[in-house]
Amino acid sequence: MKNLFDLTHKVTVITGGGGLLGKAFARGFASYGAQVIIAEIDEEKGIRACEELKKDGYTARFLLLDIADEKSVINGVTQILKEEGRIDVWINNAYPRTKDWGVSFEKIPFNSWQENINKHLNGYCLCCQKVTEIMKEAKKGSIINIASIYGIVAPDFSIYEGTDMTMPAAYAAIKGGVIQFTKYLASYYGNHGVRVNAISPGGIFDSQPQSFVKNYIKKTPLQRMASAEEIVGAAIFLASDASAYVTGHNLVVDGGWSII
């Protein structure tokens, strides 16, 4: 049974692999034997993430990739196939956003709304479109889309009181779309052996203001925010043979936030 979680030699691409959650995914997958590719639009961040893994005895390769640019995605996928011959796991984790991300709903410029939807939701769609066809030909593969609790429940704006933070409106629309899109793809490609699932994390601690953290944990049954590492197990499960009969699922990892 232990071998069910083995990812040895599985070619795993993590978009946004240089970020907080992306780096945790990269480390976790590398520790389970995967051939990790950190796909990043930020070259410096991506290379640094690879170097950090190397210091700890793990190996990862950097791939320059802009998920919202069709040419970049096609070139990136082509390069992976040329070098590795296949793609076993693709994690859509990148989090592109505009500089005015987080302004209140009534002040959002419409072109900003459009750009965020295009970069994030449409970027996930673009990556899936190119990768699922490769997996279809191989008759196997796992795609994991990173969604959010705010794709399934409405935000509680009271937890942001006393801070400059808020819950961006586009984020809710994007992540809700990601969850439903995941189900669509799972149904569309299921008979080809391709599994598509989503993970909806709750709040991940990233040095947020103390007042926010205090308000957040009051609403969470486990009475704390998550660490990035606590989301990794869900991804390893969905990428491995341990979830061989799981597709179209949205795995919620939120400490109980969404149940109350």
2-254: CATH architecture: 3-Layer(aba) Sandwich (3.40)
43 pLDDT higher than 80: yes
Among residues 160, 171, 189, 216, the one annotated as catalytic is: 171
Mean pLDDT of 106-119: 97
- pLDDT recorded at residue 2: 73
Non-local CB neighbours of 94 within 8 Å, separated by 6+ positions: 15, 16, 19, 22, 39, 41, 67, 120, 123
User: In this predicted model, what pLDDT tens digit does every residue of 27-36 receive, in sequence order?
Assistant: 999 999 999 9
Give the DSSP H or E segment for 144.
strand 141-146
Query: What does the pLDDT read at residue 218?
Result: 96
pLDDT for res 50: 98
Amino acid at 221: P
Phi first, then psi: what are they for 60, rounded to 5°?
-150, 150
Average pLDDT of the segment spanning 14-38: 98
CA–CA distance, 224 with 58 (Å, rounded to integer): 30
Q: Is the pTM of this model over 0.95?
A: yes
Please confirm, yes or no, whether 171 is among the known catalytic residues. yes
* CA–CA separation, 60 and 95 (whole Å): 20
The torsion angles phi and psi of 196, rounded to 5 degrees, stand at: -130, 120
